[in-house]
Amino acid sequence: MTLVLDPFYLIVDNAAWVRRLVPLGVKLVQLRIKDEAETAIARQIREAKICCEQHGAQLVVNDYWRLAIAEGCTFVHLGQEDLAGADLAAIRQAGLRLGVSTHDHTELDQALSAAPDYVALGPIFPTVLKQMPWAPQGLRRITEWKQLIGGIPLVAIGGLTIDRVPGVLDAGADSAAVVTDILRHPDPEQQTRRWIALTRMMG
């Protein structure tokens, strides 16, 4: 059965953000934590999972697929390096859905060989979050990727703002992933509500 993604895909770096924003109506959220001890990450996954279950949201765990399995999660997202070292059989046996990052055609081939539940493409626009070796993909690449992957959901990520969402979804993305436009906004709650309203209207 083909996965249907919510068009608004929130990405946060700790469980406190999950508790703060998911109750506003967020239905798809990724917990992407870097540079913390695994025990601390496991605790945050647990907290985020409880919150998401209470509010009918889908939690996606970034990278830490072993912890996702141990904590009884249902979705994991892997970058290309993590995909290369992951035990895909164990992930599938545990019943986890799988999202995979891509930045070029070679990575797309690698991702598709893992039979992912969604493919992410980025960065669509310049991003301040981290240094990227790839040039911004632009809207045309979204359309190209969607044609290449067919019925697999496509997530657009990188430099997305609420003003850019309509163009991203119109170009063929099924879901628009956001980090800084919400987490660095002066009023994250109000910005989250705006994203939800816009993406639901377009979806």
What residues are labeled active site? 32, 101, 130
The CA angle 177-60-126, to the nearest 5 degrees, is: 25
- Residue written as token pair 């359309």: 143
Angle between helices 138-149 and 105-113 (to 10 degrees): 30
**What single letter denotes the amino acid at residue 74?**
T
Those residues whose C-beta lies under 8 Å from the C-beta of residue 157, and which sit 6 or more positions away, are 9, 11, 101, 120, 121, 122, 123, 124, 176, 177
Q: Dihedral, CA atoms, 132, 76, 177, 56, nearest 10 degrees?
A: -160
Residue 143 CA to its chain's centroid (Å): 19
Q: Under a CB-based contact definition with an 8 Å cutoff, are residues 124 and 160 in contact?
A: yes
